Structure 1
Amino acid sequence: MTESIDIPGAVVPPRPGVSAEEFDAAHGDAAADTIMARLAREAYGDDYPDGVDPYGMSTRWTLQTFVDQLRIPQGGTLVDIACGRAGVSLWVARETGADLIGVDWSPVAVAEAAKRASAWVGDGRARFQVGDLVATGLPDQCADAVLCADAIFFATDRVAAVREAARILRPGGRYAFTADESDDGRPHAVPDWRPIIEAGGLEVVARIEVPRWAEQLGRMYDVWLANLDEVRQTLGEEAANAMREEAETVGPTLPNRTGVLYVAQRA
């Protein structure tokens, strides 16, 4: 297929239930937004970035580290791949003065991100379009920086996802993403992202371990389990069962996993 086939964790089978339609439903559910944000705030405490309401595990530390490491020039262009509702990248764009292009495979997420943009960065500084991790639809060398918060692991070909980020970066531009590393035998596990990044055509600048990643994610799962009755009443039986399954299957693996933030650069 590609050179990535020999790199552990680089090419993986599709995950059941992971589709644009699934994310459309998640991003379009206002009740889910409210309860999930409240539960995450309870789990993460002062580290939870109020107002940003990230879909993943981004904290105040994550946001500031993206700002510090991406080194976006004033008035430069930031691309957020798999942006969701773009809370993370709108925050980064506001802090850096960058223009923002957000890309996501969920049309509902793209529409919700567009609604939020003017409150964060003003009119004309952010736009959003449908695309995915390996095919953004953007032109070559259009970005000064690219980020991907808690989403690169959804790509079935992770090298292709990095290669797409490299394609749209200008020379010297940086790509930062958050994920986790482990060597515990799970079919989607990545023991080391460095070979994947290098096969995608970028040079690793930094590998930073996310402080208290496993501890905080484990606490969120505990909060989910403690509030399943409310989740069931608000979001329904299917959502409650999915959250319980994730908490009970992923939670026990956390001691063997390390949350990481990688920074890479185009030559």
Structure 2
Amino acid sequence: MTTDVSLPKPEEVGTFYDATNDLMTQFLGGSTHYGYWTGPDDESTFEQAADRLTDILTDKLGAKPGQHVLDVGCGQGRPGVRLATRTGAEVTGISISARDVEVSNERAQREGVADRVRFQRADAMDLPFADNSFDHVFALESIVCMPDRVQALRQFARVVRPGGVIALTDFTDRDPEANARKKEDLAEVGESWHTAPLIKESDYPTFAAEAGLEVVEVKDITLHTRYTEERFYGPLREYAANNDVPPEITQVLEIAPSPEELRAMSEGAPSVGVALVVLRRPANG
């Protein structure tokens, strides 16, 4: 993997989300990930669309009551709590953000699932769990904030039991022929969010093989998630125009696409895509 200095650093990612997530989750449907709309006529709220994506990924796991799921990059706990409530599974969530862990544990208490849903601060690049600790791994967009996807997948493969499923979403480059200026603009947006460089959807079979995992499914869901940016940035910009916001949010908004660009993204085919990825540790692995 590249050693480019622009790669995200775990402590900086944690500091960024410590400062921003209390505000951002208000505009991301209570979660910290994209929404999934069925099409241009879908009038779902952001909250409903975000929960739908959580449910789609949860269903890919096939988690059952009594099983143990690792939620990597738990945000403020909504997806992990929802997963546990829907499936009956036990969930351990991790985040590099101390604030997210605090809020997530408060959510688990408030929703009455703290007996089987817990959150802790940890670095996904060096998971503090024994081998074969979990039945499945769940990672909604968190791998985009890790400096080495293959190393992260190796950690997931280490802690999941043979036959266990790893379901995640990742950001992809859907326009590899874009000009240099557009590439620079996309890289600048990514750096403001502390995300790693985009990869191609077709990279995942290689990533999986290097991590000792099997590919179950790699699917482009961009045409369902493409409404996210406009429905997130628009309300956040309006809020920031009338309220004090953390400097990290100010920087994100300064670099973000214009309203016109956001509208074009939601109506067309964005250059930055979202891939749904399902992997499995071999049963004899």
TM-score under structure 1 normalisation? 0.79
> What residue ranges of structure 2 are gaps of 5+ in the alignment?
38-42, 188-196
Q: Are positions 1:113 and 2:104 aligned together?
A: yes
Task: Determine which of 58, 63, 70 is the counterpart of 2:61.
Answer: 70
- Cα distance, 1:148 vs. partner? 0.7
Q: Are positions 1:235 and 2:244 aligned together?
A: yes
Q: Are positions 1:258 and 2:273 aligned together?
A: yes
Moved more, 184-193 or 99-108: 184-193
User: Conserved in 1, the CA contact under 8 Å of 2:68 and 2:90?
Assistant: yes
Secondary structure in structure 2 of the residue aligned to 1:199: helix
Q: 1:233 to 1:43 in 2, by over 3 A?
A: farther
Moved more, 203-212 or 144-153: 203-212
Moved more, 94-103 or 209-218: 209-218
Matched residues in 2 for 1:170 and 1:79: separation? Answer: 11
Task: Determine which of 6, 14, 18 is the counterpart of 2:7.
Answer: 14
Q: 1:133 to 1:246 in 2, by over 3 A?
A: farther
Partner of 2:206: 195
Partner of 1:54: none
- Cα distance, 1:208 vs. partner? 2.4
- Cα distance, 1:47 vs. partner? 5.2
Matched residues in 2 for 1:65 and 1:205: separation? Answer: 15
Q: Deviations over 1:130-181 (max 9, x none)?
A: 1122112111111111011111011111100000100110010000101122
Task: Determine which of 10, 19, 25 is the counterpart of 2:19.
Answer: 25
Q: Deviations over 1:9-53 (max 9, x none)?
A: x765424894211111123x4x55445549x99997515335xxx
Percent identity, please.
20
Moved more, 167-176 or 185-194: 185-194
Task: Determine which of 250, 257, 274 is the counterpart of 1:247.
Answer: 257
Matched residues in 1 for 2:145 and 2:95: separation? Answer: 12
User: Conserved in 2, the CA contact under 8 Å of 1:99 and 1:126?
Assistant: yes
Secondary structure in structure 1 of the residue aligned to 2:127: coil
User: Conserved in 2, the CA contact under 8 Å of 1:103 and 1:136?
Assistant: no
Instruction: Within 5 Å, give how 1:40-119 maps onto structure 2.
Output: 45-46=43-44, 48-49=46-47, 59-119=50-110
User: Conserved in 1, the CA contact under 8 Å of 2:81 and 2:113?
Assistant: no
Matched residues in 2 for 1:232 and 1:74: separation? Answer: 46
Partner of 1:217: 228
Matched residues in 2 for 1:94 and 1:105: separation? Answer: 24
Q: C-alpha root-mean-square deviation of aligned residues, in Å?
A: 3.2
Paired AA for residue 177 in structure 1: L
Secondary structure in structure 1 of the residue aligned to 2:167: strand
> What residue ranges of structure 1 are gaps of 5+ in the alignment?
51-57
Matched residues in 1 for 2:237 and 2:27: separation? Answer: 11
Paired AA for residue 15 in structure 2: E
User: Conserved in 2, the CA contact under 8 Å of 1:213 and 1:259?
Assistant: no
- Cα distance, 1:257 vs. partner? 3.1
Moved more, 184-193 or 65-74: 184-193
Q: 1:171 to 1:219 in 2, by over 3 A?
A: same
Matched residues in 2 for 1:96 and 1:107: separation? Answer: 27
Matched residues in 2 for 1:71 and 1:24: separation? Answer: 32
Paired AA for residue 175 in structure 1: I
Task: Determine which of 130, 136, 154 is the counterpart of 2:121.
Answer: 130
Moved more, 121-130 or 239-248: 239-248
Partner of 1:161: 152
